[in-house]
Structure 1
Amino acid sequence: MRKLYVLLLSLALSSLSSRATSATDDGALTLDSCRQLALQHNKALQMSQLGIDKAREIHAAARTNYLPKISGVAAYVHTGDELSILTTDQKSALTNLGSQLGAGFSPEFMQRVQQLVAAHPDLAPLVQRAQQTGAALQQGLNGVGRDLAQRFETDTRNVAVGAVLFTQPLYMGGKIRAYDRITGYAEQLAGEKLRADRQEVILSVDKAYWQVVSLTHKTRLATAYRDMLQHLDGDVQKMVKEGVATRANALSVSVELNKAEMTLMRAEDGLSLSRMLLAQLCGLPIDTTLHLVDERLSDLPTSTAGVQADAETAMGARPELRQLGLAQSIYAEKVKVERAAFLPTLALTGGYGMTYPSMFNGFEKKLKGTWSVGLLLKVPIWEWGEGKHKVAAAKADAAVAGLQLQEAREKITLQVNQTALAVNQAVKKLALTEKSQSRAEENLRMARVGFKEGVVTTSDLLAAQTAWLAAQSDKIDAQIDIRIARAVYNKALGQ
């Protein structure tokens, strides 16, 4: 049973799909299909979508400010001379430490030693050993001095440092949170801009679509009027030959025929330009020949129901109001950002650093390092009132944004009432044009009958035909006006 249900469902979907395909096989476009084409290919909408992507990335970047930042740094320096802890004299003194000690014995002391050896020859070996020991001691002290002097050499002609550092904000005066909210509001603002642009594109497509439909019907009307005058011109020419009409009657008909041909030419040119505009809005080449479904209708079905101004719906749906509301929130957060710039900030810092030469155990030709951790506190002390003035300026911007929102609400309320009135006026105009059309048709019928019977002049028949043309044109305008007025009203409601 389940398999049978799935099979029937598949057949039903296939049937619906084939019907949808057959409905568009002739290439005729509906209003909805034109809208979809425009929404897919419109460059302004594509730019707005990229604006949303950009705002999303900026918001994501702002949220990273809550996290610690880790960075690495390294440097190498080669100098011509190394740093020296000891002076040149101190190095020389250490190198000749033993010699200087031996030179400390005075000549008088050496003379007395020689006198002592001369008086006591048995002490000569002892003195000789003492002299040998002193010489060895001098050499040893000289070596110790040289080694000590070498150990004081820094070898800083080649210096390298490297470190990995991290910084974790602990308190930034509320700046990070405020910036996070600002970028979040900016992302929502970009979304509302896209929605507003979509509504604007849809309205532009609606106007262009119904303009094409209007000019198509007017072209047909102009063609019918031209054909009517051509038929009348032929009849009048026959009547002139038969002597029942004058040459002036024929000329008046000929003049009206020329006017009708000019009107038809202007209508065709306007229709071509309107098709180009619609093709451009739909993202198609402007030389594309568009065929619309509503062009085929001999009479446009039009709703004659009036509307009531619904300002409350507009207040909650208009993207412009949402944008201004978000802008007001952004300016309120900017006040916090300006205030945070003059509040204390606290951050946790740390890292691991290495140096060459190493100085942890004297100067060693080794690369060694150690870790560190600490707190960084910054407290503004005196800024000459700069923070106060900047906060006041930011508050002024926020107040301006609030006033702009109030003004926009008032203007949108007025716009909703105006567009609703335009719809109702278009409905009334259609009712009047329908009455005028029926009367013009009856007047033309009676004029034709009277003209055939010879009781109506050519001028009266031309006047009746002109009145019929005006009535038909007014009806087409009224039908199109209702469509466009409803589209404008829906946009005013934010739909």
Structure 2
Amino acid sequence: MIKKSLAIISIFIFACISSVTAQQLLSLEQCRQLAIENNKTLKIATEEERVAYYNKKEALSKYFPEIQFVGGYLHNQKNLYLIPSSAIPSSITLPIEIPNIGNTIPVSDEVRNAIHNVGKVDIKNIWAGGFNLTQPIFMGGKIVAYNDLRSYAEELAKTMKETKMTDVIVEVDNAYWQVVSVANKKKLAESYVELMQKMDSDISAMEQEGVVTKADRLSVNVKLNEAEMTLTKAENGLSLAKMLLSQICGLDISDAITLQDENISNVDVSKEADAMPNVDEALVNRTEIRSLELATKIYEKQEKIALADFMPNLAFTANYLWTNPNLFDGYEKKFGGMWNVGVVLKVPLNFFSNSSKLNAAKAETRIKKYELADAKEKITLQINQSAYKLNEAYKKLAMAKKNSEKADENLRYANVGFDEGVIASSDVMTAHTAWLAAHSDLIDAQIDIVLCKIYLNKALGRKL
């Protein structure tokens, strides 16, 4: 019996522990961290940053000599013969006649072939190879501009990653506070259902006493059903909002999560002293502005690279070559080699195509400058709009607080009047509906201020 009781207790404890561990309690910072770790866009940005880093290292190598090996093998169908077979006579005519022979001596095929092979050059199997070293001396400033370009590209990759990280944080914060908003509306709907259930109970008792009619009770029943429907919608909305937050954080949407701020009754909406917008601060801090400035510098460097195509290029070269067969000491069927050094000068003469390339680079630079100026104007507008929306949100909050206080007082008087029989049930239900709407507006106003602060800080380029 004792063993059975211990087993039951163990199972109960295990079930409780499993229930607790299944629920993940997440703060806003934890949600941000999860989203940053799991976001695919940020992972892509990290790889792009790594690509820019290696491209910068590759650009640095342009200052150093380039060394390469070249080798080859060639098999020919035929050899070379320096003495043509047509030049070898089939007979030799003597100036005098020899008895029994005459003055013509025939040349045998063996002799003719031997003479033909004297001029044979064996080229059926040819091997060649060599090392080449090329050191740039003057490239018209192209190498310096290319290295500067790659440095700016690396900085651009970093700022673009910061921009994407800010977007992810804003997305997380928006989803997080939406969950908090829906969770508070769910609690509000639960309170509304409790109020309607109490009223339904009271109206049923009053009907039995003959104080109210059946129509009054049915009206309350309809309102109770509406309240329960509102609660169901709030529960579904909370589940969907948590699914969205889980997806943004990289969690499984089926995971049960609970937010640290989910059960707070009042959201911190204190008015900050530095809420006034500062456009100069934004133009310094916004990563989008830094990205466009870097992009402009990149295109300016591309102009210099295009301009370098007009300049002569000078390079030092050194080689070591060998061949088999070789001709360094007659014709030998073995490897033989030599080294050489020299200077290579390249003077471009295709000025027409180079001019087109330079003009295109200048046009692209102007485009980036226009985009930068346009972005500054839009950011200025965005800051003013965000500040205006925040001020409007504070005004809405003040009105929502007054409305909720009046709705609380109105509901209290309506309940007292209904209990004393001086107020009709329809008026009480109207007070309940007004109470629900006022408190729902209060929740929306509080969350709206939180989100407006986030959007304003993002517009100003502040750390979120």
Question: TM-score scaled to structure 1, two decimals?
Answer: 0.82
Does residue 299 (structure 1) correspond to residue 270 (structure 2)? The answer is no
Deviation of 1:398 after TM superposition, in Å, equals: 0.5
Structure 1 pair 305–440 and aligned structure 2 pair: CA distance change class (3 A): farther
Structure 1 pair 433–166 and aligned structure 2 pair: CA distance change class (3 A): same
Take 1:365 and 1:151, find their aligned partners in 2: how far apart are those partners?
16
Structure 1 pair 489–302 and aligned structure 2 pair: CA distance change class (3 A): same
The question of whether the paired residues in 1 share the 8 Å contact of 2:185 and 2:440 is answered with yes
User: For 1:46-71, what per-residue CA distance to the aligned partner results, in whole angstroms no more than 9, with x for missing partners?
Assistant: 11101101111111112212211111
Partner of 1:58: 55
Take 2:357 and 2:349, find their aligned partners in 1: how far apart are those partners?
16
Take 1:50 and 1:424, find their aligned partners in 2: how far apart are those partners?
41
Take 2:312 and 2:82, find their aligned partners in 1: how far apart are those partners?
42
User: For 1:272-329, what per-residue CA distance to the aligned partner results, in whole angstroms no more than 9, with x for missing partners?
Assistant: 0110111111111111111111112222232133610111111111111111111111
The question of whether the paired residues in 2 share the 8 Å contact of 1:305 and 1:427 is answered with no
1:367 to 335, 342, 345: 335
Post-superposition, which runs of at least 4 consecutive aligned residues in structure 1 deviate over 4 A?
24-27, 145-152
> Which structure has more helix as a fraction of its residues?
1
Partner of 2:29: 32
Partner of 1:399: 366
- Partner AA of 1:324 in structure 2: L
The question of whether the paired residues in 1 share the 8 Å contact of 2:199 and 2:220 is answered with yes
Partner of 1:267: 234
- Larger Rg over CA atoms: 1
The question of whether the paired residues in 1 share the 8 Å contact of 2:393 and 2:449 is answered with yes
Alignment of 1:91-240 (within 5 A): 92=88, 106-107=96-97, 152-240=119-207
> Which structure has more strand as a fraction of its residues?
2
- Partner AA of 2:136 in structure 1: P
Deviation of 1:336 after TM superposition, in Å, equals: 1.6
- Partner AA of 1:71 in structure 2: Q
* Alignment gaps of 5+ in structure 1: 1-23, 112-142
Does residue 253 (structure 1) correspond to residue 220 (structure 2)? The answer is yes
Question: TM-score scaled to structure 2, two decimals?
Answer: 0.87
The question of whether the paired residues in 2 share the 8 Å contact of 1:318 and 1:493 is answered with yes
Deviation of 1:148 after TM superposition, in Å, equals: 9.3
RMSD: 2.4
2:68 to 60, 63, 71: 71
Equivalent position SS for 1:32? helix
Alignment of 1:347-358 (within 5 A): 347-358=315-326
Deviation of 1:87 after TM superposition, in Å, equals: 2.6
Does residue 454 (structure 1) correspond to residue 451 (structure 2)? The answer is no
Structure 1 pair 255–26 and aligned structure 2 pair: CA distance change class (3 A): closer
1:308 to 258, 276, 298: 276
Structure 1 pair 348–240 and aligned structure 2 pair: CA distance change class (3 A): same
- Partner AA of 1:358 in structure 2: N
Take 2:140 and 2:437, find their aligned partners in 1: how far apart are those partners?
72
User: For 1:175-196, what per-residue CA distance to the aligned partner results, in whole angstroms no more than 9, with x for missing partners?
Assistant: 2222222222111111111101
Count of residue pairs the alignment pairs up: 431
User: For 1:134-193, what per-residue CA distance to the aligned partner results, in whole angstroms no more than 9, with x for missing partners?
Assistant: xxxxxxxxx9x9999766432112211111111112222222222222222111111111
Take 1:420 and 1:273, find their aligned partners in 2: how far apart are those partners?
30
When structure 1 is superposed on structure 2, of 434-443 and 242-251 the one drifting more is 242-251
Alignment of 1:37-52 (within 5 A): 37-52=34-49
